Structure 1
Amino acid sequence: MPDNVQGPGSGRTALRADCANCFGLCCVALTLTRSADFAIDKKAGEPCRNLREDSRCGIHSELRTRGYPGCTVYDCFGAGQKVSGETFGGRDWRADPDTARRMFQVFPVMRQLHELLWYLTEALSLEPARFLHGELRHSLDETERLTRLPADELADLDVAAHRETVAALLHEAGRAVRATAPRGKKRDRRGADLIGARLRGADLRGADLRGAYLIAADLTGADLRLADLIGADLRDADLSAADLTGSLFLTQAQLNAAGGDTATRLPPSLDRPAHWGR
């Protein structure tokens, strides 16, 4: 590993949600639509009825059984505590309507920036992409700089344009890593409709699955090492006994949306979801 480059499991503490230091922003700033994921309709800026005065969820341990599985798969990548504690200096949105309005505008922007920081941090740990590390480091530093902008500037930030620039760089990094997979295994399934696909035991080493729809796919025992999973939709996919070690750009939210068991092999930077089978 290059000097001064951290592994994918390190340097990410600030990119993990710390609800104890957030004013429950995901429970207020976001829109909820009554569906299989959420038991209620809620407008953006309207506090969820389950949000307590101490900014904690009143049914956190029962979210799945009470009709809120969507809440259990959401990940702010640490944006909540960054906006609450740094951008707004610990000012609670409850104290001032103008603070609330701006905070709710900034939170989704910060969340996107922190997600990019998660991916860039991982990309900098990838030895086959070493030739890109200078550009990746510059991109990470620039993204971090953007997260420190004042609230008004963050609210007006063209985050989509920045994401596009970073996405191209991440794609190059992923391609360099996938090229090390066994010959003939590097399938291009970007954005593919694989909903309900029967991929039990499939050799997907080095596959490009960026943005693929793997909803309810059977990936039992599949080999996903070196597969690029950035943006892949893994809702209700069965990852039992699958090998995800060395997979690229996998997030905790993707795992939380899927199913698995104790035989599922995960990257060291991610946790086994509590609702997975044994």
Structure 2
Amino acid sequence: MSEQQRGNQNHLRADCESCFGLCCVALPYAKSADFAFDKEGGTPCKNLQSDYRCRIHSHLRDKGFKGCTVYECFGAGQKVSQFTYIGKDWRENPELAEEMFDVFPVMQQLHEMLLYLNEAIGNEKARPIYDELLQAIEDTEQLTHLSPNELLNLDIPNHRAVVNNLLLQTSEFVRAKVKKDKNRSSKVKKGIGLIGANLSGNDLRGSNFRGALLIAANLRNSDLRMSDFIGADLRDADLSGANLHGSIFLTQAQVNAAKGDRDTNLPASLHVPSHWLV
């Protein structure tokens, strides 16, 4: 794999123009603060148009669909639409619909793993496991080329366990470089619930936030550099003025779910959401 290939991860970002609105159909959601009404899996959203575009895409938050703005398929939508099903959509081919909707979340998981693996292999601190990461990328990419039936019969948990081991090692390499500070906050421990926690202004460099529930946590002006955010729930967490430079496994979807401002320092691969600036 060349440096150019590793650097180009556009196929791991959603391209809605090349998708058959799969996330708007395949996935269920319940009426809540994130969605304005209930929808069953396999049922098209009322806002999905015949051209597979969202009728209220520019006003999702205003219309009560904040949940849609923080979802990311990691490019699985266009992969399933244009590669797995070679451009055959579910409206014109209803016999494929149910299978297509089942394949989509499987592909989403594979693409999510690819995103993290590509980030890991691009991190200099993970050089000791470069070959293992490269092999995992190639193996995972091959899985995305399987037929629908093969995808549905994949042992995703087993493959995820292999990938997760490499991501854990990468996390250890990155966070080990952070100088230990005896005066740093001890509030963050692996597995601790942090819903609504006040961690404002803390030195949290190199923290392990893997899978942490940081919902509505106050992280204003905190130093979060070199921290691991894989799977962390950042819904309504306040990142205003926080420094996340060098943090790892943080996605745009997680950032979109949080609150922040123009003073929030994000990793170079991510951008400040427009709703932060309103």
Q: TM over 0.5: same fold?
A: yes
Q: Alignment partner for residue 33 of structure 2, among 33, 36, 41?
A: 36
Matched, 1:214 2:218: no
- 2 CA distance for matches of 1:270 and 1:93? 33
Deviations for 1:83-110, whole angstroms, at most 9, x for unmatched residues? 0000000001111222111110100000
Output the CA distance in 2 between the equivalents of 1:14 and 1:57.
Answer: 21
Alignment match, 1:107 = 104
> Post-superposition shift, 1:201?
1.1
1:258 corresponds in structure 2 to 258
Q: Map residues 218-229 of structure 1 onto 2, 5 A cutoff.
A: 218-229=218-229
* 8 A Cα contact 2:219 2:239, kept in partner: yes
Is the CA contact 2:221–2:241 (under 8 Å) kept in the aligned structure 1? yes
| CA contact 1:6–1:125 (8 Å) conserved in 2 | no
Q: Partner residue of 1:134?
A: 131
Could you list the runs of 5+ residues in structure 2 that have no partner in the other structure? none
* Paired AA for residue 39 in structure 2: K
After TM superposition, the structure 1 stretch with the greater mean CA deviation from structure 2, 50-59 or 191-200, is 191-200
Of 90, 112, 121, the residue aligned with 2:87 is 90
- Report the alpha carbon displacement of residue 67 of structure 1 after superposing the two structures with TM: 0.9
| Contact 2:185 2:203 survives alignment (8 Å) | no
- Give the secondary structure class of the aligned counterpart of 1:181: coil
For 1:251, give the aligned amino acid.
T
Q: Residues 7 and 241 (structure 1 numbering): CA distance in 2 closer, same or farther, change over 3 Å?
A: farther
CA distance in 2 between counterparts of 1:121 and 1:244 reads: 19
Q: What TM-score do you get using the length of structure 1 for normalisation?
A: 0.95
1:182 paired residue number: 179
Pairwise CA RMSD: 1.7
Q: Is the 8 A contact 2:126 2:170 kept in 1?
A: yes
Q: Which moved more, 1:151-160 or 1:78-87?
A: 151-160
Letter in structure 2 aligned against 1:141: E
> Residues of 1 paired with 2:2 and 2:63: CA distance?
46
Deviations 1:3-33 (A, max 9, x none): 944698x321111100000000000000011
Looking at structure 2, the residues matched to 172 and 27 of structure 1 have their Cα atoms a distance apart, in angstroms, of 35
Whole-Å Cα distance in 2 between the matches of residues 92 and 42 of structure 1?
Answer: 21
Against the structure 1 CA distance between its residues 206 and 49, is the aligned structure 2 distance closer, same or farther, given a 3 Å change threshold? same
- Match for residue 27 of structure 1 among 24, 29, 49: 24
- Paired position in structure 1 for 2:50: 53
- Which AA in structure 1 matches 2:261? D
What displacement does 1:189 show?
2.7
**Deviation string, structure 1 residues 46-74 (Cα, Å, up to 9, x no partner):** 00000000000000111111111000000
CA contact (8 A) 1:213 1:233 kept: yes
1:62-73 alignment, distance < 5 Å: 62-73=59-70
- Find the aligned partners of 1:129 and 1:229 in 2 and give their Cα distance: 17
Q: Secondary structure at the match of 2:102?
A: helix
Unaligned 5+ residue runs, structure 1?
Answer: none
Listed one character per residue, the Cα deviations across residues 238-277 of structure 1 (whole Å, up to 9, x for unaligned) are 0011111100100011001001111111111112111113
* TM-aligned CA deviation for residue 133 of structure 1: 0.8
Q: 2:237 — aligned with what?
A: 237
SS in 2 for 1:129: helix
Give runs of aligned pairs for residues 144-163 of structure 1, distance below 5 A: 144-163=141-160
In structure 2, distance between residues paired with 1:202 and 1:12? 33
Query: RCO (CA 8 Å, sep 6+): is it higher in 1 or 2?
Result: 1
Q: After TM superposition, which residue ranges in structure 1, 4 or more long, deviate above 3 angstroms?
A: 3-8, 184-188
* Kept after mapping to 1: 8 A contact 2:18/2:82: yes
Structure 1 Cα separation of the partners of residues 191 and 145 of structure 2: 33
Is residue 167 from structure 1 mapped to residue 164 from structure 2 by the alignment?
yes
Indicate the SS of the match to 1:235. coil
Residue type of the partner of 2:126?
A
Q: Which residue of 2 aligns with 1:81?
A: 78
- Distance in 2, matches of 1:139 and 1:23, equals 29
Q: What residue identity is the alignment partner of 2:137?
A: L
